[in-house]
Amino acid sequence: MSAGSSGSLGSSVEELHRWAVDRAEHGTGAHDLIDEVRRRLPLVGAEDVARTVARVEAHLVGLGPLDALLADDRVTDLVVNGPGPVWIDRGAGLDRSGVEVDRPQLDLLVERVVAPLGRRADPVHPVVDGRLADGSRVHVVVPPLAVDGPYLTIRRFGARPIGLEDVAAPPVADLLRRAVHDRANLVVVGGTGSGKTTLLNALAAAIDPGERIITVEDAAELRLPGEHVVRLETRPASVDGPGAVSARELVRSALRMRPDRLLLGEVRGGEALDLLQAMNTGHDGSLSTLHANGCADALRRLETLVLLAGIGLPLDAVRDHIAAAVDIVVHLVRDVDGLRRVEEVAEVVGDPGAAGRVRTLARGSRVVARPHRRSRRRSSRMAEVAG
């Protein structure tokens, strides 16, 4: 077949693309095929050559039809609900992208995503979490759990840097920046997709670049500019490989690595206890995120997660430790139009005998109060546990 052997130029390019894909599926190497594509298109315009080569290369070494969508900095989420349309979110909700994938393409995409992670997605291991090279989070579910699957969800991160003013009015952004500068312990809360990790990254940008920061995440997404940034990532269990390494183990390890600040990507379990102990034992200025529906609700959720550590602490001791450890809670929401914004900033009131005691510092675009400068009180009962 030559570039002009049959049909119009467009159909010849399409034929060449299908030929290269078929050869790739029969084991021909990517570089050899790309060179062959270039040789077979000597009379085609440079733009058509580049486009065809890019399509073949994406199929062989990239994410195929998804690459063009992921190249768009506005795309924050990409989801595939089995064979059919690919849906994307550019910040205003999910829309059809105009791209569709069939089952063979989807199976190939899943393999491309999980293979670099040293994992596999099959009926024995039907759920896989990981990240792409750019830090984007990936979640894969395959049959039999995925009835119409495979299902693929990509949560983008860092495609476009977000500053505090992008999610908060200038007075509220100044309040948050000052809190980070003053080494307050902050917890960012909100629902799924509200932008908690993005805000955490924006807050961390206010940290002095000379400070030593250690991050602990399930999928390493934070991008910090400092000279002393150490990134730790959890590892899931595998039946045929190394064992799991939990966030709790990594937090404990991080505290032995001389951190000036500890950043925990998300508190989900018993690592809440270790984070609070770090906040209460000299690691001021720590930052984390948490799923919660508001600032007061965040403290109740923290109580529950600390109790999940399973060391038999009484509730009043847990509340005492939370009140002494956490300074500021930031509640982030996502509007119906898809915009993310800071809904409330609250200071934790130093009353260990009451849960959910917070004092609002900012609501919406208005700062209504200034944080109190308080010395951090230590819980003797929790100090005994930490020791």
pLDDT in tens, 59-93: 556 677 788 888 888 888 899 999 989 999 887 77
Residue 313 has pLDDT above 50, yes or no: yes
Please report the sign of the dihedral spanned by the C-alpha atoms of residue 155, residue 159, residue 164, residue 165: negative
Nearest to residue 382, comparing CAs of 281, 247, 253, 258? 281
* Strands of the 94-101 sheet, one edge to the other: 94-101, 84-89, 77-81, 151-155, 137-141, 127-131
Query: Taking Cα atoms as reference points, which of 292, 305, 299, 298 lies closest to residue 319?
Result: 299
Mean pLDDT of 196-224: 87
Give backbone dihedrals phi and psi of 216, rounded to 5 degrees, phi first.
-125, 120
pTM: 0.71
Spatial CA neighbour of 330 closest among 176, 156, 140, 202? 176
- Indicate if the pLDDT at residue 31 is higher than 70: no
* CA dihedral of residues 301, 304, 308, 311 (deg, nearest 10): 130
- Could you report the per-residue pLDDT of 351-360, keeping only the tens digit for each? 655 445 889 9
- The burial of 264, by beta-carbon neighbours within 10 Å (0-12 exposed, 13-18 middle, 19 or more buried), is given as buried
Q: Give the span between the Cα atoms of 195 and 197, in whole angstroms.
A: 6
Report the alpha-carbon distance of residue 185 to residue 285 in Å, rounded.
Answer: 5
pLDDT band at 55 (very low <50, low <70, confident <90, very high): low
Tokens of 188: 């960012």
Token pair of 130 as six digits: 């990981």
pLDDT at 331: 96
pLDDT of res. 214: 92
Report the C-alpha gap between 148 and 160 in whole angstroms. Answer: 33
Task: Write out pLDDT tens, residues 139-172.
Answer: 899 999 988 889 999 988 655 667 899 889 999 9
Distance CA 23, CA 113 (A): 21
| pLDDT per position as a tens digit, 223-273 | 787 788 898 988 776 656 567 888 888 988 988 898 999 999 888 888 888
Per DSSP, the residues of 269-295 read: STHHHHHHHHHTTT-TT-EEEEE-SSH
